[in-house]
Structure 1
Amino acid sequence: MKVLYRSVRVLGSLPVGIFLLASLFVLSFWGILFDAQMGVDLGTERFFNSWIFFAAGIFPLPALKTWAVLFGVNITCSLLFRMPHTSKKWGVLLSHIALLVLIAGSFAASCTRESFTALGFAGSRIVLNEERADGFQILAVDSNGCSIISLSHGDTLRVAYNQPQNIGAYRLYFEESLWLSAEKGIARLHVKRDPFGFVPYLFSVLLIVGLLGTLLPLWRNRRL
Protein backbone atom coordinates (compact mmCIF):
# COMPACT_ATOMS: atom_id res chain seq x y z
CA MET A 1 0.00 0.00 0.00
CA LYS A 2 2.86 2.36 0.83
CA VAL A 3 4.47 1.59 -2.52
CA LEU A 4 1.23 2.46 -4.32
CA TYR A 5 0.84 5.68 -2.34
CA ARG A 6 4.42 6.71 -3.12
CA SER A 7 3.95 5.88 -6.80
CA VAL A 8 0.84 8.04 -7.00
CA ARG A 9 2.64 10.92 -5.30
CA VAL A 10 5.49 10.60 -7.79
CA LEU A 11 3.05 10.69 -10.68
CA GLY A 12 1.59 13.91 -9.26
CA SER A 13 4.92 15.53 -8.49
CA LEU A 14 6.01 18.87 -9.92
CA PRO A 15 9.12 17.51 -11.74
CA VAL A 16 6.94 14.98 -13.60
CA GLY A 17 4.52 17.76 -14.54
CA ILE A 18 7.36 19.96 -15.83
CA PHE A 19 8.74 17.05 -17.86
CA LEU A 20 5.32 16.40 -19.42
CA LEU A 21 4.85 20.08 -20.25
CA ALA A 22 8.28 20.21 -21.88
CA SER A 23 7.47 17.06 -23.87
CA LEU A 24 4.18 18.56 -25.06
CA PHE A 25 6.02 21.72 -26.13
CA VAL A 26 8.62 19.72 -28.10
CA LEU A 27 5.90 17.61 -29.73
CA SER A 28 3.88 20.70 -30.69
CA PHE A 29 6.92 22.43 -32.16
CA TRP A 30 7.87 19.29 -34.09
CA GLY A 31 4.30 18.91 -35.35
CA ILE A 32 4.12 22.54 -36.52
CA LEU A 33 7.35 22.16 -38.49
CA PHE A 34 6.00 18.95 -40.02
CA ASP A 35 2.74 20.75 -40.92
CA ALA A 36 4.69 23.46 -42.73
CA GLN A 37 6.55 20.90 -44.85
CA MET A 38 4.06 18.08 -45.40
CA GLY A 39 0.65 19.70 -44.93
CA VAL A 40 -1.73 20.31 -42.04
CA ASP A 41 -3.88 17.22 -42.52
CA LEU A 42 -0.97 14.78 -42.50
CA GLY A 43 0.73 16.53 -39.58
CA THR A 44 -2.46 16.62 -37.52
CA GLU A 45 -3.14 12.93 -38.10
CA ARG A 46 0.44 11.90 -37.31
CA PHE A 47 1.26 14.04 -34.26
CA PHE A 48 -1.98 15.29 -32.74
CA ASN A 49 -4.71 12.77 -33.55
CA SER A 50 -2.92 9.52 -32.71
CA TRP A 51 -1.41 7.68 -29.75
CA ILE A 52 2.04 6.99 -31.21
CA PHE A 53 4.07 7.97 -34.27
CA PHE A 54 7.23 6.61 -35.79
CA ALA A 55 10.25 8.90 -35.94
CA ALA A 56 12.28 8.28 -39.11
CA GLY A 57 9.75 5.54 -39.84
CA ILE A 58 11.39 3.25 -37.24
CA PHE A 59 11.30 4.51 -33.65
CA PRO A 60 7.86 4.59 -31.93
CA LEU A 61 7.28 7.73 -29.87
CA PRO A 62 4.21 8.88 -27.91
CA ALA A 63 1.94 11.29 -29.77
CA LEU A 64 -0.34 13.97 -28.34
CA LYS A 65 -3.08 11.65 -27.06
CA THR A 66 -0.58 9.64 -25.00
CA TRP A 67 1.04 12.74 -23.52
CA ALA A 68 -2.40 14.22 -22.78
CA VAL A 69 -3.45 11.11 -20.80
CA LEU A 70 -0.19 11.17 -18.83
CA PHE A 71 -0.60 14.88 -18.15
CA GLY A 72 -4.18 14.28 -17.01
CA VAL A 73 -2.98 11.57 -14.61
CA ASN A 74 -0.32 13.95 -13.29
CA ILE A 75 -2.86 16.71 -12.68
CA THR A 76 -5.35 14.34 -11.02
CA CYS A 77 -2.73 12.87 -8.69
CA SER A 78 -1.46 16.36 -7.93
CA LEU A 79 -4.97 17.55 -7.01
CA LEU A 80 -5.59 14.54 -4.78
CA PHE A 81 -2.27 14.18 -2.97
CA ARG A 82 0.02 17.19 -3.43
CA MET A 83 -2.03 20.38 -3.38
CA PRO A 84 -3.57 21.68 -0.15
CA HIS A 85 -7.37 21.68 -0.20
CA THR A 86 -7.93 25.04 1.48
CA SER A 87 -10.10 28.00 0.60
CA LYS A 88 -6.99 30.14 0.09
CA LYS A 89 -5.81 27.84 -2.72
CA TRP A 90 -9.08 27.70 -4.66
CA GLY A 91 -7.55 29.59 -7.57
CA VAL A 92 -4.76 27.04 -8.02
CA LEU A 93 -7.22 24.16 -7.73
CA LEU A 94 -9.59 25.72 -10.27
CA SER A 95 -6.73 26.29 -12.73
CA HIS A 96 -5.80 22.62 -12.60
CA ILE A 97 -9.44 21.56 -12.90
CA ALA A 98 -9.63 23.73 -16.04
CA LEU A 99 -6.79 21.72 -17.56
CA LEU A 100 -8.62 18.48 -16.77
CA VAL A 101 -11.77 19.87 -18.42
CA LEU A 102 -9.75 20.72 -21.54
CA ILE A 103 -8.15 17.26 -21.73
CA ALA A 104 -11.41 15.37 -21.10
CA GLY A 105 -13.36 17.61 -23.47
CA SER A 106 -10.76 17.21 -26.22
CA PHE A 107 -11.00 13.42 -26.00
CA ALA A 108 -14.79 13.56 -26.05
CA ALA A 109 -14.70 15.91 -29.05
CA SER A 110 -12.32 13.64 -30.98
CA CYS A 111 -14.83 10.78 -30.57
CA THR A 112 -17.95 12.73 -31.57
CA ARG A 113 -16.72 15.41 -34.00
CA GLU A 114 -17.78 15.17 -37.65
CA SER A 115 -16.17 16.96 -40.58
CA PHE A 116 -16.78 16.26 -44.26
CA THR A 117 -17.38 17.83 -47.67
CA ALA A 118 -20.79 17.98 -49.36
CA LEU A 119 -21.22 18.52 -53.10
CA GLY A 120 -24.47 19.32 -54.89
CA PHE A 121 -26.09 21.32 -57.69
CA ALA A 122 -29.41 23.17 -57.74
CA GLY A 123 -32.13 20.71 -56.78
CA SER A 124 -29.85 18.30 -54.90
CA ARG A 125 -30.95 17.00 -51.51
CA ILE A 126 -28.22 16.31 -48.95
CA VAL A 127 -29.13 14.38 -45.80
CA LEU A 128 -26.78 15.06 -42.89
CA ASN A 129 -28.40 12.84 -40.27
CA GLU A 130 -31.23 10.42 -41.07
CA GLU A 131 -32.27 9.88 -37.43
CA ARG A 132 -32.77 13.60 -36.72
CA ALA A 133 -33.86 14.40 -40.30
CA ASP A 134 -31.14 17.05 -40.54
CA GLY A 135 -30.50 18.00 -44.15
CA PHE A 136 -31.01 20.59 -46.83
CA GLN A 137 -31.84 21.10 -50.48
CA ILE A 138 -29.79 23.41 -52.68
CA LEU A 139 -32.01 25.93 -54.43
CA ALA A 140 -29.49 27.96 -56.44
CA VAL A 141 -25.73 28.20 -56.90
CA ASP A 142 -23.66 31.25 -57.84
CA SER A 143 -19.98 32.17 -57.72
CA ASN A 144 -20.18 33.58 -54.17
CA GLY A 145 -22.38 31.03 -52.45
CA CYS A 146 -25.64 29.13 -52.64
CA SER A 147 -29.20 29.30 -51.37
CA ILE A 148 -30.52 26.30 -49.46
CA ILE A 149 -33.71 25.23 -47.70
CA SER A 150 -33.70 23.22 -44.50
CA LEU A 151 -35.49 19.86 -44.85
CA SER A 152 -36.51 19.80 -41.18
CA HIS A 153 -37.74 23.38 -40.68
CA GLY A 154 -38.31 24.72 -44.19
CA ASP A 155 -36.17 27.82 -43.59
CA THR A 156 -34.44 29.36 -46.61
CA LEU A 157 -30.80 30.25 -45.91
CA ARG A 158 -27.91 31.80 -47.77
CA VAL A 159 -24.49 30.12 -47.38
CA ALA A 160 -21.63 32.22 -48.72
CA TYR A 161 -18.03 33.16 -48.06
CA ASN A 162 -17.68 34.29 -44.42
CA GLN A 163 -21.40 33.57 -43.98
CA PRO A 164 -21.82 30.05 -42.52
CA GLN A 165 -25.23 28.71 -41.54
CA ASN A 166 -26.53 26.10 -39.10
CA ILE A 167 -28.70 23.13 -40.04
CA GLY A 168 -29.64 21.36 -36.82
CA ALA A 169 -26.42 20.40 -35.06
CA TYR A 170 -24.35 20.94 -38.24
CA ARG A 171 -22.60 24.08 -39.44
CA LEU A 172 -22.17 24.69 -43.17
CA TYR A 173 -19.30 26.63 -44.74
CA PHE A 174 -19.24 27.56 -48.41
CA GLU A 175 -15.89 26.68 -50.04
CA GLU A 176 -16.33 27.15 -53.79
CA SER A 177 -18.58 26.65 -56.78
CA LEU A 178 -17.59 24.36 -59.66
CA TRP A 179 -19.17 25.08 -63.02
CA LEU A 180 -20.06 22.31 -65.46
CA SER A 181 -21.49 24.86 -67.87
CA ALA A 182 -22.41 28.52 -67.94
CA GLU A 183 -25.71 27.77 -66.19
CA LYS A 184 -25.04 24.64 -64.12
CA GLY A 185 -22.82 24.93 -61.07
CA ILE A 186 -21.96 22.61 -58.20
CA ALA A 187 -21.64 24.01 -54.67
CA ARG A 188 -18.89 22.63 -52.48
CA LEU A 189 -19.67 22.93 -48.77
CA HIS A 190 -17.67 21.99 -45.71
CA VAL A 191 -19.88 20.49 -42.99
CA LYS A 192 -18.89 20.32 -39.31
CA ARG A 193 -20.54 19.02 -36.15
CA ASP A 194 -18.80 19.42 -32.81
CA PRO A 195 -20.98 18.81 -29.72
CA PHE A 196 -18.05 19.73 -27.46
CA GLY A 197 -17.06 22.89 -29.28
CA PHE A 198 -17.82 24.84 -26.10
CA VAL A 199 -14.99 23.15 -24.17
CA PRO A 200 -12.20 25.62 -25.15
CA TYR A 201 -14.39 28.53 -24.04
CA LEU A 202 -15.25 26.82 -20.75
CA PHE A 203 -11.57 26.07 -20.21
CA SER A 204 -10.64 29.71 -20.87
CA VAL A 205 -13.20 31.00 -18.37
CA LEU A 206 -12.18 28.54 -15.66
CA LEU A 207 -8.48 29.23 -16.23
CA ILE A 208 -8.87 33.02 -16.13
CA VAL A 209 -10.96 32.85 -12.95
CA GLY A 210 -8.45 30.45 -11.40
CA LEU A 211 -5.49 32.66 -12.29
CA LEU A 212 -7.26 35.72 -10.90
CA GLY A 213 -8.01 33.80 -7.72
CA THR A 214 -4.31 32.92 -7.47
CA LEU A 215 -2.74 36.26 -8.36
CA LEU A 216 -5.08 38.74 -6.65
CA PRO A 217 -4.30 37.54 -3.08
CA LEU A 218 -0.57 37.73 -3.86
CA TRP A 219 -0.99 41.28 -5.18
CA ARG A 220 -2.94 42.30 -2.07
CA ASN A 221 -0.32 40.82 0.23
CA ARG A 222 2.43 42.73 -1.57
CA ARG A 223 0.52 46.00 -1.14
CA LEU A 224 0.12 45.32 2.56
Structure 2
Amino acid sequence: ICPGTTFCKRAKQDSVHLGMQIERKYLSQEMPSKMKIGVSGCLNSCTESRMKDVGIIGTVEGWNVYAGGSGGAHPRIGDLIAEVTTEKEALALVDRIIAYYKENAQIERMGEFIDRIGLEAFKAAVLGDLEGAPAESKSDEPAVFLPGHGNDPEPEAPRLEAGAPITPDTIIRDIVDTYPNVVPVLQSIGMGCLGCPSSTAEPLWQAAEIHGVNVYDLVQKLETARKGA
Protein backbone atom coordinates (compact mmCIF):
# COMPACT_ATOMS: atom_id res chain seq x y z
CA ILE A 1 0.00 0.00 0.00
CA CYS A 2 1.40 3.41 -0.91
CA PRO A 3 0.69 6.52 1.25
CA GLY A 4 -2.04 7.72 -1.13
CA THR A 5 -3.87 10.99 -0.63
CA THR A 6 -3.34 10.68 3.12
CA PHE A 7 0.30 11.74 2.84
CA CYS A 8 1.36 12.06 -0.82
CA LYS A 9 0.71 15.17 -2.90
CA ARG A 10 0.96 13.15 -6.13
CA ALA A 11 -1.77 10.68 -5.19
CA LYS A 12 -5.14 10.74 -6.93
CA GLN A 13 -6.98 8.27 -4.67
CA ASP A 14 -6.97 7.09 -1.05
CA SER A 15 -4.96 3.89 -1.45
CA VAL A 16 -4.49 3.43 2.31
CA HIS A 17 -8.22 3.21 3.01
CA LEU A 18 -8.81 0.81 0.11
CA GLY A 19 -5.73 -1.27 0.87
CA MET A 20 -6.60 -1.74 4.53
CA GLN A 21 -10.08 -2.99 3.61
CA ILE A 22 -8.57 -5.54 1.24
CA GLU A 23 -5.98 -6.59 3.82
CA ARG A 24 -8.60 -7.06 6.52
CA LYS A 25 -10.64 -9.31 4.23
CA TYR A 26 -7.93 -11.41 2.60
CA LEU A 27 -5.01 -11.56 5.04
CA SER A 28 -4.20 -15.21 5.86
CA GLN A 29 -6.85 -16.61 3.52
CA GLU A 30 -5.85 -19.84 1.80
CA MET A 31 -5.28 -19.43 -1.94
CA PRO A 32 -4.41 -21.88 -4.75
CA SER A 33 -0.89 -20.41 -4.80
CA LYS A 34 1.11 -17.42 -3.64
CA MET A 35 -0.92 -14.21 -3.74
CA LYS A 36 0.32 -10.62 -3.68
CA ILE A 37 -1.95 -7.57 -3.83
CA GLY A 38 -0.76 -4.02 -4.43
CA VAL A 39 -2.66 -0.74 -4.13
CA SER A 40 -1.23 2.50 -5.50
CA GLY A 41 -2.72 5.97 -5.26
CA CYS A 42 -1.54 7.18 -8.67
CA LEU A 43 -0.03 6.03 -11.96
CA ASN A 44 3.50 6.32 -10.55
CA SER A 45 2.57 3.03 -8.86
CA CYS A 46 5.19 3.12 -6.12
CA THR A 47 3.99 -0.28 -4.88
CA GLU A 48 4.50 -1.79 -8.36
CA SER A 49 0.85 -2.81 -8.46
CA ARG A 50 1.05 -4.15 -12.01
CA MET A 51 3.64 -6.65 -10.81
CA LYS A 52 1.21 -8.14 -8.27
CA ASP A 53 -1.34 -10.94 -8.67
CA VAL A 54 -4.00 -8.30 -8.12
CA GLY A 55 -3.14 -4.64 -8.56
CA ILE A 56 -5.22 -1.50 -8.11
CA ILE A 57 -3.98 1.89 -9.27
CA GLY A 58 -5.69 5.20 -8.56
CA THR A 59 -6.39 7.64 -11.37
CA VAL A 60 -8.09 11.02 -11.63
CA GLU A 61 -11.27 9.24 -12.74
CA GLY A 62 -11.17 6.36 -10.25
CA TRP A 63 -9.29 3.05 -10.18
CA ASN A 64 -7.66 0.72 -12.71
CA VAL A 65 -7.84 -2.92 -11.64
CA TYR A 66 -5.21 -5.37 -12.91
CA ALA A 67 -4.66 -9.11 -12.47
CA GLY A 68 -1.87 -11.56 -13.21
CA GLY A 69 1.28 -9.59 -12.45
CA SER A 70 4.37 -11.17 -10.89
CA GLY A 71 8.08 -10.59 -10.45
CA GLY A 72 10.89 -13.01 -9.74
CA ALA A 73 12.24 -15.54 -12.21
CA HIS A 74 9.16 -15.39 -14.45
CA PRO A 75 8.04 -11.75 -14.49
CA ARG A 76 4.67 -10.82 -15.91
CA ILE A 77 2.92 -7.45 -16.16
CA GLY A 78 -0.65 -7.56 -14.93
CA ASP A 79 -3.51 -7.33 -17.41
CA LEU A 80 -5.98 -4.47 -17.15
CA ILE A 81 -9.32 -6.00 -16.18
CA ALA A 82 -11.43 -2.86 -15.88
CA GLU A 83 -11.47 0.83 -15.08
CA VAL A 84 -13.95 1.72 -12.34
CA THR A 85 -14.93 5.01 -10.77
CA THR A 86 -15.42 4.35 -7.05
CA GLU A 87 -13.72 2.49 -4.22
CA LYS A 88 -16.80 0.31 -3.80
CA GLU A 89 -16.63 -0.74 -7.44
CA ALA A 90 -12.93 -1.56 -7.09
CA LEU A 91 -13.58 -3.70 -4.01
CA ALA A 92 -16.42 -5.55 -5.75
CA LEU A 93 -14.21 -6.34 -8.73
CA VAL A 94 -11.30 -7.48 -6.56
CA ASP A 95 -13.71 -9.78 -4.71
CA ARG A 96 -14.88 -11.33 -7.97
CA ILE A 97 -11.34 -11.77 -9.31
CA ILE A 98 -10.18 -13.53 -6.16
CA ALA A 99 -13.35 -15.62 -5.84
CA TYR A 100 -13.07 -16.86 -9.43
CA TYR A 101 -9.37 -17.60 -8.98
CA LYS A 102 -9.97 -19.55 -5.76
CA GLU A 103 -12.78 -21.58 -7.30
CA ASN A 104 -11.12 -22.47 -10.60
CA ALA A 105 -7.32 -22.24 -10.41
CA GLN A 106 -5.00 -25.16 -9.93
CA ILE A 107 -1.75 -24.78 -7.98
CA GLU A 108 -0.73 -21.77 -10.06
CA ARG A 109 -0.26 -18.03 -9.70
CA MET A 110 -2.91 -15.66 -10.99
CA GLY A 111 -0.93 -14.88 -14.15
CA GLU A 112 -0.42 -18.56 -14.93
CA PHE A 113 -4.14 -19.14 -14.45
CA ILE A 114 -5.01 -16.29 -16.84
CA ASP A 115 -2.52 -17.56 -19.43
CA ARG A 116 -3.99 -21.06 -19.18
CA ILE A 117 -7.65 -20.11 -19.68
CA GLY A 118 -7.10 -16.97 -21.77
CA LEU A 119 -7.47 -13.32 -20.82
CA GLU A 120 -10.81 -12.84 -22.57
CA ALA A 121 -12.32 -15.86 -20.84
CA PHE A 122 -11.05 -14.59 -17.50
CA LYS A 123 -12.46 -11.10 -18.06
CA ALA A 124 -15.80 -12.52 -19.21
CA ALA A 125 -16.02 -14.59 -16.03
CA VAL A 126 -15.21 -11.80 -13.58
CA LEU A 127 -16.95 -8.94 -15.36
CA GLY A 128 -20.00 -10.64 -16.81
CA ASP A 129 -22.15 -8.89 -19.37
CA LEU A 130 -21.08 -5.27 -19.70
CA GLU A 131 -24.71 -4.21 -19.50
CA GLY A 132 -24.67 -5.19 -15.83
CA ALA A 133 -25.67 -8.86 -15.80
CA PRO A 134 -23.76 -10.93 -13.23
CA ALA A 135 -20.97 -13.23 -14.33
CA GLU A 136 -21.48 -16.98 -14.26
CA SER A 137 -19.60 -17.72 -11.09
CA LYS A 138 -20.22 -19.51 -7.83
CA SER A 139 -19.47 -16.27 -6.01
CA ASP A 140 -22.35 -14.39 -4.45
CA GLU A 141 -20.47 -11.13 -4.83
CA PRO A 142 -22.01 -8.60 -7.24
CA ALA A 143 -20.57 -7.97 -10.67
CA VAL A 144 -18.61 -4.78 -11.13
CA PHE A 145 -21.00 -1.86 -10.73
CA LEU A 146 -21.72 0.06 -13.89
CA PRO A 147 -23.05 3.58 -13.23
CA GLY A 148 -26.11 4.34 -15.31
CA HIS A 149 -27.06 0.68 -15.83
CA GLY A 150 -29.38 0.27 -12.87
CA ASN A 151 -26.89 -1.18 -10.39
CA ASP A 152 -25.11 1.94 -9.21
CA PRO A 153 -23.54 1.50 -5.77
CA GLU A 154 -25.06 3.25 -2.80
CA PRO A 155 -23.29 6.54 -2.09
CA GLU A 156 -20.71 6.15 0.64
CA ALA A 157 -21.56 7.75 3.96
CA PRO A 158 -19.18 10.36 5.35
CA ARG A 159 -16.51 8.65 7.42
CA LEU A 160 -16.97 10.69 10.59
CA GLU A 161 -18.97 13.89 10.66
CA ALA A 162 -18.40 16.48 13.36
CA GLY A 163 -20.63 15.63 16.30
CA ALA A 164 -20.85 11.93 15.46
CA PRO A 165 -19.87 9.53 18.26
CA ILE A 166 -16.67 7.50 18.20
CA THR A 167 -17.21 3.73 18.06
CA PRO A 168 -14.91 0.68 18.07
CA ASP A 169 -15.17 0.56 14.26
CA THR A 170 -14.21 4.20 13.69
CA ILE A 171 -10.99 4.58 11.69
CA ILE A 172 -8.12 6.18 13.62
CA ARG A 173 -7.38 8.70 10.87
CA ASP A 174 -10.99 9.88 10.90
CA ILE A 175 -10.90 10.34 14.67
CA VAL A 176 -7.72 12.41 14.43
CA ASP A 177 -9.02 14.49 11.51
CA THR A 178 -12.44 15.20 13.02
CA TYR A 179 -11.52 15.44 16.70
CA PRO A 180 -7.86 16.50 17.04
CA ASN A 181 -8.50 17.33 20.70
CA VAL A 182 -8.68 13.59 21.53
CA VAL A 183 -5.17 12.86 20.21
CA PRO A 184 -3.64 12.92 23.74
CA VAL A 185 -5.97 10.05 24.70
CA LEU A 186 -4.64 7.94 21.82
CA GLN A 187 -1.06 8.87 22.67
CA SER A 188 -1.65 7.87 26.29
CA ILE A 189 -2.11 4.22 25.25
CA GLY A 190 1.15 4.23 23.31
CA MET A 191 -0.01 5.39 19.88
CA GLY A 192 3.00 7.48 19.00
CA CYS A 193 2.69 6.66 15.30
CA LEU A 194 -0.29 8.81 14.37
CA GLY A 195 1.56 10.00 11.26
CA CYS A 196 1.95 6.47 9.90
CA PRO A 197 -0.45 5.61 7.04
CA SER A 198 -0.87 1.98 8.08
CA SER A 199 -1.64 2.63 11.74
CA THR A 200 -4.05 5.51 11.13
CA ALA A 201 -6.01 3.40 8.64
CA GLU A 202 -6.83 0.87 11.37
CA PRO A 203 -10.18 0.77 13.14
CA LEU A 204 -10.12 1.72 16.81
CA TRP A 205 -10.75 -1.85 17.99
CA GLN A 206 -7.64 -3.07 16.18
CA ALA A 207 -5.47 -0.34 17.69
CA ALA A 208 -6.83 -1.18 21.14
CA GLU A 209 -6.04 -4.85 20.62
CA ILE A 210 -2.48 -4.08 19.49
CA HIS A 211 -1.85 -1.83 22.49
CA GLY A 212 -3.49 -4.17 24.98
CA VAL A 213 -6.36 -1.98 26.16
CA ASN A 214 -10.09 -2.53 26.42
CA VAL A 215 -11.68 -0.90 23.40
CA TYR A 216 -14.85 0.07 25.27
CA ASP A 217 -12.85 1.79 28.01
CA LEU A 218 -10.93 3.59 25.28
CA VAL A 219 -14.13 4.66 23.53
CA GLN A 220 -15.43 6.07 26.82
CA LYS A 221 -12.26 8.12 27.33
CA LEU A 222 -12.35 9.38 23.75
CA GLU A 223 -16.01 10.32 24.02
CA THR A 224 -15.32 12.21 27.24
CA ALA A 225 -12.51 14.12 25.54
CA ARG A 226 -14.62 14.69 22.42
CA LYS A 227 -17.42 16.26 24.44
CA GLY A 228 -14.92 18.39 26.32
CA ALA A 229 -15.94 16.98 29.69
TM bin, normalised by shorter chain, reads: under 0.3
* TM-score normalised to structure 2 length: 0.22
* TM-score normalised to structure 1 length: 0.23
User: Higher helix share goes to which structure?
Assistant: 1
Higher radius of gyration, 1 or 2: 1
